[in-house]
Structure 1
Amino acid sequence: MSLPTGITSHARQVCSLYKRSLRNLEAWYDRRHIYRYRAVILRKRFDDNKTVSDMRTASELLAAGEKELFETQHFQPKKFANSPGGCAYAREVIPPDWVLDYWHPLEKAAYPEYFARREKRKEEFVTWWEKTYGKPDAKDLGHH
């Protein structure tokens, strides 16, 4: 999970509020024509305030919008299946690369070009590692 860093601009906060408000409407209104009607009304509300140049007023409007969204949020918001919180999030486990090292030689023989290229890449990586960080000491490897 990545956490946002830095300061978010006012424009970005307004865009985020608008998108989250649309998603909230989507959760409340499952009939498409009703949702679209409400979305147009929501867009009009945002468009009416886009010319506000006083930052104090704009900040107050943004805070009021965030408060309204919080108060009207759906009790069970829709989630995309593969997004965090969705029913299929992280369902497919992608095995790590080292699993291929444990394949039987007969299994590897079915894909000779792939495994030849893989071994070459592993050698290149070891060379790069040793060039960048140096060779490991024998005492660090547990050999006495």
Structure 2
Amino acid sequence: MSYLQTQLIPHVRKVQSLYKRALRNMEGFSHHRHVYRFNAVILRARFDENRDILDMRKAKELLYLGEEELHRMMHYQPLKFPTSPGGTAYDRETVPPDWVLDYWHPLEKAQYPEYFARREQRKKEYVEVWEKQYGKPDPKDHH
């Protein structure tokens, strides 16, 4: 769920995101590359006009108006990369979590001795770092 927002996003990043989404949206409407590039240059000029605005109220208002315009002008069938959220191949291949390797049979683990030796060492290091940062768990808390 890496697409969920977990921290504050700076204004500059929001503007960059708006610009990129606007370009992608424009790509869906343009069937010829030269038409797309012409419109992309015009779009960039629109963004550059407001590049040096220092009044954050005005900048936020322009960002809001840009988001609104993008929403109004959104392509009826937006282009999506296949492995992006909403794409045809999104989440098609499930990557198993790391703990699955703990349940391998010892004969399976014996086929990769260096890997599993290094993995056990790193697991110990991870536990040490965890205990150093958060302290050892209280045995009374276990049910």
- State the TM-score, normalizing by the size of structure 2: 0.72
Q: Which residue of 1 aligns with 2:51?
A: 50
Aligned-partner SS, 2:90 = coil
Question: Structure 1 CA distance, aligned partners of 2:63 and 2:28?
Answer: 22
Q: Which runs of 4+ in 1 moved over 3 A?
A: 4-8, 11-14, 48-64, 119-131
In structure 2, what is the equivalent of residue 105 of structure 1? 106
Unmatched 5+ stretches in structure 1: none
Aligned to 2:119: 118
> How many residues are treated as equivalent by the alignment?
139
Following superposition, the deviation at residue 88 of structure 1 comes to 2.1
> Between the two proteins, what is the percent identity of the paired residues?
59
Query: Displacement, 1:24?
Result: 0.9
Paired with 1:5 and 1:118, the residues of 2 have a C-alpha distance of 31
- Could you say if the C-alpha distance between residues 135 and 115 of structure 1 is closer, same or farther in structure 2, counting changes exceeding 3 Å? farther
Give 1 or 2 for the bigger CA radius of gyration.
1
Which of 120, 140, 143 pairs up with 2:142? 140
RMSD (CA atoms): 3.1
State the partner residue of 2:81: 80
Q: Give 2:25's aligned residue.
A: 24
1: CA distance between counterparts of 2:54 and 2:122?
Answer: 57
The TM-score, its normalising length taken from structure 1, stands at 0.71
Task: Assess, with a 3 A threshold, how the Cα gap between structure 1 residues 74 and 135 changes in structure 2: closer, same or farther.
Answer: same
Q: For 2:110 and 2:6, how far apart are their aligned partners in 1?
A: 46
Distance 2:120 2:102 in 1: 10
Distance 1:129 1:14 in 2: 38
Q: Which moved more, 1:105-114 or 1:45-54?
A: 45-54
